[in-house]
Structure 1
């Protein structure tokens, strides 16, 4: 496995954007062309070679060392290969990602996986607000792929999410699944206050909810075969990172009845 390593030269003179800096794009460029790529956001720009020490050769793996929250759009447009990050990163990581894999040994900022349609994202730390949520100008949030967060996440995760799977080993912030249209969010640490605001469809799974909106209704206890199918699929896909299966019987909370109300929150049955 060949790959390129970028070591960040902190502190940066301006914020850095790595949108489109992917293994497949770098593999098509010479070393000189890679070093000249613009990764700044201001008028003058910043060359990749000025912001990072570059080593190795372009291939199917890109490693970013010494990363900080000043770096945005890591893995933006990733279609294949693997991006490994050591450190924390800023907002809009994995923006419009279609395939490949991103591994972050640290925390990520807001809007992780916004507009993504495929691929795998693994984060060992926490994530900010609007994980898988809709960005300004977009119609939907996350459209596919799988995200695993080993820590906690911020508010409004899955806002207008349409497809895909989000697994949170910790707890969500308030408003998870707001305006959700489809997909699955499984929070092993439970959900924060008022999940599912204006939720149309989709599934939220967890052991507890801090508080429910009054427009969600108790639909009783159920033995849902599909829940065991989801658990089996996640075990095969994620291995030890898969959430622990829910009990045989779960309490189904339906909503949001302020809209079409076909979403569901699944909790252990009392």
Structure 2
């Protein structure tokens, strides 16, 4: 399979919008056409050819070689194929992704997978604040799809998240699941302080909570069948990258009772 490659000529000095660099938007364009695409809404923004050396040919795979936190909206709107990034990326990576796969070898900035509807995002480093969260003006955050983060996650992950699954091998920061209305956050390392503020629905899974809000009720140990289904789904989706299957029994904390309280934190240890 041939790949269309973008290699940084120089380190950018301002935030760039790379949402145009997805297979469906590049299909049928010549190299010259691609190099003339503007990296942002402002016509005075740099063009692709000013920042990247373009090589290869496109089928359904894009590779970006760069390492800059100014590379925003990488993979935004992806609706098929794959994007692979060598290095870190900026904010809004994978925003609104519908299908396909985005792989980032380094860290990702804030609002990773914001508004995602499907697809798979794999960040081999850590992720910033508001992973899967609602951007100002959005009604909801993540709406579907799967995110895997090998490192840690910043604060307020899953802000107003409605659907989808986020798996982190590292720890979630403070206030994970803030105002969440559905979906699943799963950590192998535990949650920071005060997860689930104003959690309406949805599930937070992990071995520990640093500081629990007083508005969560301890429901004791349970054995829900849905956890075995979730473990199988993640194993099928992530393959060898999947975390260990969930235990047969978990401790349920129900809340947030400051709102309708139909969410849950499930402690695995």
Tell me if the contact between 1:14 and 1:41 (Cα under 8 Å) persists in the aligned partners: no
Unaligned runs of 5+ in 1: none
* Aligned match of 1:77: 77
* Aligned match of 2:220: 220
Residue 206 (structure 1) shift: 0.6
Paired residues, number: 269
* Aligned match of 1:125: 125
* Aligned match of 2:170: 170
Tell me if the contact between 1:181 and 1:202 (Cα under 8 Å) persists in the aligned partners: yes
Rounded Cα–Cα distance in structure 2 between residues aligned with 1:38 and 1:67: 20
Which deviates further from its counterpart, 202-211 or 24-33?
A: 24-33
Tell me if the contact between 2:20 and 2:26 (Cα under 8 Å) persists in the aligned partners: no
* Aligned match of 1:3: 3
**Given the alignment of the two structures, is residue 98 of structure 1 paired with residue 94 of structure 2, yes or no?**
no
Tell me if the contact between 2:107 and 2:127 (Cα under 8 Å) persists in the aligned partners: yes
- SS at structure 1 position matched to 2:35: helix
TM-score w.r.t. length of structure 2: 0.97
Residue 41 (structure 1) shift: 6.1
Rounded Cα–Cα distance in structure 1 between residues aligned with 2:80 and 2:141: 21
Tell me if the contact between 1:19 and 1:76 (Cα under 8 Å) persists in the aligned partners: yes
TM-score w.r.t. length of structure 1: 0.97
Unaligned runs of 5+ in 2: none
Residue 68 (structure 1) shift: 1.1
Rounded Cα–Cα distance in structure 1 between residues aligned with 2:117 and 2:90: 20
Greater than 6 Å deviation, 4+ residue runs: none
**Given the alignment of the two structures, is residue 192 of structure 1 paired with residue 198 of structure 2, yes or no?**
no
* Aligned match of 1:229: 229
Tell me if the contact between 2:112 and 2:130 (Cα under 8 Å) persists in the aligned partners: yes
Tell me if the contact between 1:15 and 1:41 (Cα under 8 Å) persists in the aligned partners: no
Task: Please give the root-mean-square deviation of Cα atoms over the aligned residues, in Å.
Answer: 1.2
* Aligned match of 1:87: 87
User: Which residues of 2 match residues 101-116 of structure 1 at below 5 A?
Assistant: 101-116=101-116
Rounded Cα–Cα distance in structure 2 between residues aligned with 1:20 and 1:259: 40
**Given the alignment of the two structures, is residue 182 of structure 1 paired with residue 182 of structure 2, yes or no?**
yes
* Aligned match of 1:264: 264
Rounded Cα–Cα distance in structure 1 between residues aligned with 2:268 and 2:11: 47
Tell me if the contact between 1:21 and 1:75 (Cα under 8 Å) persists in the aligned partners: yes
